[in-house]
Structure 1
Amino acid sequence: MSILVTGAAGFIGSALCRQLTARGDETVIALDRLGYAACLHSLPAQAVFIQADIRDGTALDAVFARHRPRAVFHLAAETHVDRSIDTPIEFIEHNMVGTFQLLEATRRFWGGRGRPDDFRFVHVSTDEVFGSLDADEPAFTASSPYRPNSPYSASKAAADHLARAWMATYGLPVIVTNCSNNYGPWQFPEKLMPLVIQKALAGHPLPLYGDGGNRRDWLYVDDHAAGLMAALDHGEPGGTYLFGSGREHSNLEVVKAICAQLDQWRPDPVGPYARLIQFVTDRPGHDRRYGIDPSHARRALDWQPRTDFADGINATIRWCLDHPHWANRDYHGARLGLIPS
């Protein structure tokens, strides 16, 4: 038996592949088009890698015919909000059209095999589809309304709706998951934590949008991967499961925590790293707060996050210090997502 993972060479996809192969009972088919944020080195050697684009239905048909997976984890997506502001068409093509093509290829394969009841399509999404929370609003649940505010979150919301529609219309056994902000080793250095670590070590300003008060639920990537596996093993078709730590931190708190740990492990003779924090013009449509209520996933899937926030940050920093080449991967920290006046 095999399991197909799309977006497998990405940050979350590779973490999932590492856990799936560690379990050792099934072949992992790791599919990725190798976009700018992908990294083959993050994939386990046991995975069977296939370079393909989910927008190519013919290529997908060939993958299904050859490997005959019993389940699909769909993680392939463009994910950076700032990039979605600059080039929204890429997010429409990959996140919406790509999801459509994958759903259709999956439906053809599943239907051709007699529509087996134990097949699963696990669609991996984001909490950003739910929009922004006010300070006193309860955290997101599976019943929260969709209110996306960026081209990225709108494209992911559309993909969620497509996945659910393919179950309601065609019977495809779909499970939808939504996660909070992930962090940990192997994350592309355009994201907040690796970007801050990279810039601090170089002595460059640490840019924070607005007043730094935007709040997020932060989930260690290995905890998320464990949740996805639990969704496959125990989730119900038609179900929605939200994965988060249940703890929120402002961006300013995150950056200060990184600076404090770097002060201990790699002190700068010039002074504390927090001196480099610089508040910059906020990005358009920047959601103020996300919060996840993961209680349903904990009960239904027997899952819980195991990594404390401080431990996760320390593990992330240590990995970045041990892999200095990672900061130089095709990204130089340039500001993205500013609409010209």
Structure 2
Amino acid sequence: MSRWALLLLLGLVWPAAATTLSETAFRQLERAQALLAEGDARAANELLEARFARAEHDSERALIRQVQGFALAAVPDNRAAIQRLQQALDYGQLPEPAALQSRLALGQLLYVEGQMPRAIEVLTAYLTQAGDLAVVEAQVMLASAHVAAQQYRQARPPLAAAMARRETPPLGWLELQLAVDYGLEAWSAAAETLLTLVSRAPESRTYWQQLSGVYHELGKQPQALAVLALAHRHGLIAEPRALRNLAQLYRALGVPYKAGELLTAALDARQVEADAPLLDSLADAWIEAREYDRAVRTLTRRLAVQDTAAARLRLAQVHVQRHDWAAVMDTLGRETQRLEGDAALLLGMAAYEQNDRALAQRAFERARADAGQRRAAEQWLRYLAGMRG
């Protein structure tokens, strides 16, 4: 609690204190106030503790404990401040304005200390007691405490009341509303909240990504893609994971060419690492877009990063689409025994097209050993046998 906020609170105590305290007690409280104004909260607390031992009645004890609570909050010693403010309220002798401020301060301190059940209880009591005089921050804090306790439905009324008191609610309040929407899985409401956040802070990539995610939850994939695409055009989608997700969304919605362009540009700008998974995704995009020449270049680059049998098979399959049989053979090699069944079958077809019947024979025999390729391999072997007569 700042010193000026503390003095403002104390301003509500002193007029009442003047009518209920002895002159000696009142002067000592005035001295404590002066120490607080000077920033010496510890000395003020010591003076008040000494006066408490000589207090003449409960109304004086309540006032002393209240001022001590404010002083300890300024130290800060929140736990001790909570204890003193609760004691002040328990006496039941504080004037109404002072009791309101004590309850508000107590609720705030409990919230800061993470004691959400008690914070909710105290802040609810404050709002009930204060009525129309309640400060809007208490409504927001109560809503936040409910959210922290995962009581999302209970958070709605105080937050709505706070929102109604501001023509333009702060972004923090809207983010709290979004947390409520998320907690209740109220995706349509979350979309509305995020549209407001995006309009208020269009430079925030987080809001754009969250809005896309909410549209995804609603099953509105085109809108999810449109949101991310717009954010990307504004330079707000730059993290590797976000770029990859956007590319996947393009492909999922049948726009693989855009996915290929996106990942190619990201690679050129070094926004993503040219690792095997990324190059696989890029190759998939070009294959789906039937951009086979680009797919070949991508898969060739992928083999340079990590040479695997699966990657070679994919490259060979693209060469088949281009009817480049020589490239198929160069990619798979001539050592048929090291090939899996599907690769051996593909090599046999390429060898046949290149009039290398001996290699085709060996490749189909190797493919026949694979249960998944046996039927096709035997058909090819019968065909070759028929050609030999």
Q: Normalization by structure 1: what TM-score?
A: 0.22
Q: Between Structure 1 and Structure 2, which shows a larger proportion of helix residues?
A: 2
Higher relative contact order (CA 8 A, sep 6+): 1
Q: Between Structure 1 and Structure 2, which shows a larger proportion of strand residues?
A: 1
Query: Highest CA radius of gyration, 1 or 2?
Result: 2
Q: Normalization by structure 2: what TM-score?
A: 0.20
